[in-house]
Structures are given as C-alpha cells and as structure tokens.
Structure 1
Amino acid sequence: MTPAFTVEQLFAELWQDYITRLCPSAQQVHQLLEEETPLINDHIALRTFNIAPLGIETLAKPFLALGYKEGGDYVFESKKLLAKHYEHTDPALPKVFISELKVEECSTQLQAIVARLVAQLDANQLLSPAFLFAGRLWSLSHQDYLELAKESEYASWFAAHGYGANHFTVSVNQLNAFEEVVEVNNQLRESGFVINESGGEVKGTPEVLLEQSSTMADRVRVAFTDGEFEIPGGFYEFAKRYPTASGELYSGFVAASADKIFESTNS
C-alpha cells in the first residue's frame, strides 16, 4: 500500500473525524489540559470484526506503510476480543491499538447480523487509508443495533459507527500542571465530565508501568435505517507511563486495564 498520507496527515484526519462525529467534547478536554506546548497523543484505538477483509491486518496496513511496527498481542476472553498494538520508530508519534471481535465465538444471531453488514461492503473502499476515518460502510437498523448490544457492546458500537478512532489519549507524562492521573480525573470532574469507574477510576499501577483513566463516551446522534437515535460515541483517555529497567518509558499496554477502558463506550 503506497502511503497516501504522511503520518501527521493521517492522524489529523482521524482527529477531525473523532471530534466531529464521535467525541465533540474532546475539544473541551483539550482546552482544559493544553499548556504552552501541544498535547502529546499517547495512542489511538480502532475497532473491527475479525471477518475478511475487515480484520486487524487490514487496519494495520496503512500504519505499517508509514513505518509502524507490531508491538504486542492482547486477549480479552470475556469480551471475545483480540488486539495488537503498533508503534513507530519515532517515540513521539502515537501508538495505535487495534482490536477485533472474534465473531465466530458469538451467537448465531450476532453472526447473522454481522454477515448482513459485511455483505454490503465494497472491498475497494478498504484500499485507501481514508477508510480508517470513513465511518460506517454499511446500512444498519436501530433494531439490529439493540440486538447486538444485548450480547456485545463492542459489536453494537462498531456496527453503528464503523471506522474512526474511538479514543485519543493525553500523555499525562508531559503535563506540568498535573503529575498523577487521579489529578486529571478530578479536574475533569469539576468541569462536568463523567469518569469511567469500571475497575476503579485509575486502571493499572506503577508496578505494571502504566496507569490509565478515561471519560465515559459522549452521547451522539446516529442515523439508522429506522430513524435517528442517540448512542455512545467516543471518549478521551489519559495515560501515565513509567520507565522500564532500561530507563525508557514502557510502550506496551496492560490487558486487564484495557479491558475496563473498553467499557467507556457501554450504554
């Protein structure tokens, strides 16, 4: 795949889609936390189904073409998810966390709905990196959305929103006004944001070299074939990384923490 965007252009497009369609409140978070230097984006996260041609590898291609390499693999048994993260040789560039639903492990009803969605797909749309922020590439009824949500909040979210970053992440390490993730949470609460409390408001510890928190997802209006409805969109995450034995900041993820971060989009 020939890069159609520079890394900076690709993330700029992903950001624009994120603040326009999925998480309008992200602008307010930016204003609250931005200091003299622009905020550093620690990572973004993307979702997909594991059905060809929609699997993790398809989403990773544009990033690999821009110099990203595979980082780690993660398994989320209870949510029936697999994930990989990718990082660039330039540590200042955001990491990319891509997850997929193991559709074959879900109910026959969920599999049937997903099959109907994938059947509508024009695979040519996946040839340009622009699909990463193209939103939903199929029609979906609100009824099917609700059916998916009964079994998998992840499946319903992706079916409704399609491609786009479900979150961006502020690197707490760069902030001067706040040293701890909990201090960022307190500032956000004072400004009216709801923090994801699943598994505790701060997920992870210095011992696992990563602490994370997040807002609960914005409610956004989405058009379905049977009407327009308000559902959970995107959220904002905050991450503090700790140095490894070599002195470099830990660059991976912690599955137990990420498992709870996924729940930021639960309805």
Structure 2
Amino acid sequence: MAVSIPLLINQLWDVYRRINPQADQIVKLLTERGEAIQNDHIAFRTFQDPRIGIDRLAKPFLEAGYEVGGEYHFEEKKLYAKHFQHQDPTLPKIFISELLLDKLSAPIRAAIDRLLDQLPQDGEFHGPLCSEGRVWQTSFADYELLKKESEYAAWMAAHGFCANHFTVYVNELSTVASLQELNDLLISNGFALNQEGGAIKGSPEVYLEQSSTVASVVEVPFTDGPQKVPGCYYEFARRYKLPDGKLFEGFVAKSADKIFESTDEKLQR
C-alpha cells in the first residue's frame, strides 16, 4: 500500500526541525505575519549504491503517483540528481542527489565502504528509507577524512537519511513581494544566508531564484565522542513563467551547485 505522502512529510519535518532549529523560528516569523507556508521542494542526499540510491529513496513517492521531472549533473561535486513531481501542485517536489562513488579517491571510498558495510544484510529498513536517519555508526576521524574531499560525504556520514532541506515556495507568500524582500526580512531578524555565488542564486532569466540559510550547527554522536557539525538548512524558491505561460517546474544546476554548499563548514566561520 502506498505511503500517505502528507503523513510522511510531517514525519520528515519533525526530524528536520530538530536538525535545523532555525526552521521553527522562520516558520514562526512568517506565520505571525499571516503567511500559510507551502513547500516548493524537499531534498535528500545519498550515495550511489543500488541499496540506498536515488531509485530506492524515491520509491514511496513514485508509488504515490510522483513522476520523474528532470535530471542534473554536478561534475565538480561528483553528484547526480533527479527531481520528482506530482500532478497535485500542493505536494512538494522531491529532489534527490547521490554521490558518485566511482569518482572518489581510494581513501574516501574506503571510508564510505565502512558505512555501507553496516547496511542491513537483507536490504530491508523499518520504513521509507528517506525517514530512516543514520543507519550506521561512524567516527569523527572518518568524518574529518571525508570532509577533505567531499563535504557532502561528510554530511551523509553524520546524518544519514533525512530531509537535507525544506523549501519555502515564495510565490505563495503574500506579505513579501520578492525573494530579495524575504532575504532582507530574514537578515534583519538575525538569520545568516548562504552568500556563495551571491545571496540569490539564479534569476528571472533562468525562471528560478533561490536562496538559503547557512546550516544550523548541531551536536552529533560519533564513536569517538560527540561533536558539533553542520546540520540542515532552510531554502527559499521563487519560480517564474516560461515563454509559453507555464510555470518553470525544474531546477538550475548552476544554482543548486551553490545551494549544496549551505552545509559546508566554511560558512560556519
């Protein structure tokens, strides 16, 4: 039987807000202005392995009527991604990326293999993979090793399977007229934004504008003791109409590339 997507989204949100305390604060800020927040998309990360890859993560969404909407390549970050969308426009798009393991150096691949070796032998999880959380144990030493080559891999080692970010659909906001105005509101209330490539990634010319907070820092248990590392972030997206009058439903790889960096430790300084 197909999973109830609204119920799954609520479960994902409850976990996400614990890894991103600023999410509740931003929701409070906007709802006190009279906003009813709609999600543009929810994003997940994984490794390129058939047991936990994009297809496995997408399974509950595909069973609930989602369809592939587009695919994206991030050569520098060694990532491949797809997005999925539903005919019901109130349901958020799902963006899933995976790290291409065959593109990594031997030490990094060995560290990731130490994680993958802990996956269930029968390939079964308790529920939808996207809500499983961290299904392995890892040391902070391995986290630091992974981070040298791929901040994405380090984040996966620390957090596993959860929503990497939720995204406010700016088009549906009524008290701000633009993404810039929303950014100004967030900054004035003390939220730090990812400035890599500019606070606003994209433009009306590519039919999509995006911005995001810098990931919250949260304490994570490692086998060699707890450490504070970047958690999740909140994204904001405004979409524009294509020449045929239809709203652009996809993503812009150049912009998404910089959004990924919202979890990079360099932004925490």
Deviations 1:2-52 (A, max 9, x none): 32x3110010011011002x1111000101122545200000100000022
Partner of 1:263: 261
Taking the TM superposition and a 5 Å limit, the aligned residue runs for 1:233-252 are: 233-252=231-250
Are the counterparts in 1 of residues 35 and 173 from structure 2 also a CA contact under 8 Å? no
Summarize the Cα distance change of 1:87–1:128 in structure 2 as closer, same or farther, 3 Å threshold. farther
Counterpart-to-counterpart distance in 1, 2:216 and 2:105: 28
Counterpart-to-counterpart distance in 2, 1:130 and 1:65: 11
Counterpart-to-counterpart distance in 1, 2:25 and 2:177: 20
Counterpart-to-counterpart distance in 1, 2:121 and 2:164: 22
Partner of 1:29: 26
- CA shift at 1:123, angstroms? 5.2
Structure 1, unaligned runs of 5 or more: none
Partner of 1:157: 155
Are the counterparts in 2 of residues 62 and 129 from structure 1 also a CA contact under 8 Å? no
- CA shift at 1:247, angstroms? 1.9
Counterpart-to-counterpart distance in 2, 1:83 and 1:131: 17
| TM norm structure 2 | 0.95
Moved more, 115-124 or 10-19: 115-124
Taking the TM superposition and a 5 Å limit, the aligned residue runs for 1:44-123 are: 44-122=42-120
| TM norm structure 1 | 0.96
Counterpart-to-counterpart distance in 2, 1:116 and 1:53: 15
Counterpart-to-counterpart distance in 1, 2:218 and 2:104: 27
- CA shift at 1:126, angstroms? 4.5
Counterpart-to-counterpart distance in 2, 1:216 and 1:117: 26
Counterpart-to-counterpart distance in 1, 2:147 and 2:96: 20
Structure 2, unaligned runs of 5 or more: none
3-state DSSP of counterpart to 1:250: coil
Deviations 1:176-228 (A, max 9, x none): 11111111111111111110000111000001000000000000000000000
- CA shift at 1:124, angstroms? 4.8
Counterpart-to-counterpart distance in 1, 2:35 and 2:88: 18
Partner of 1:138: 136
Coordinate RMSD, CA, aligned: 1.3
Count of aligned pairs between the two proteins? 264
- 2:14 aligned to 10, 13, 16, which one? 16
Partner of 1:187: 185
Moved more, 75-84 or 125-134: 125-134
Which amino acid is 1:29 matched to?
I
Which amino acid is 1:218 matched to?
S
- 1:221 aligned to 215, 219, 222, which one? 219
Counterpart-to-counterpart distance in 2, 1:239 and 1:25: 17
Counterpart-to-counterpart distance in 2, 1:212 and 1:205: 8
Counterpart-to-counterpart distance in 2, 1:61 and 1:212: 27
Counterpart-to-counterpart distance in 1, 2:179 and 2:101: 34
Counterpart-to-counterpart distance in 2, 1:229 and 1:106: 25
Counterpart-to-counterpart distance in 2, 1:150 and 1:157: 12
Counterpart-to-counterpart distance in 2, 1:230 and 1:127: 27
Summarize the Cα distance change of 1:25–1:111 in structure 2 as closer, same or farther, 3 Å threshold. same
Counterpart-to-counterpart distance in 2, 1:128 and 1:138: 14
Identical-pair percentage: 50
Are the counterparts in 1 of residues 51 and 123 from structure 2 also a CA contact under 8 Å? no
- CA shift at 1:246, angstroms? 2.8
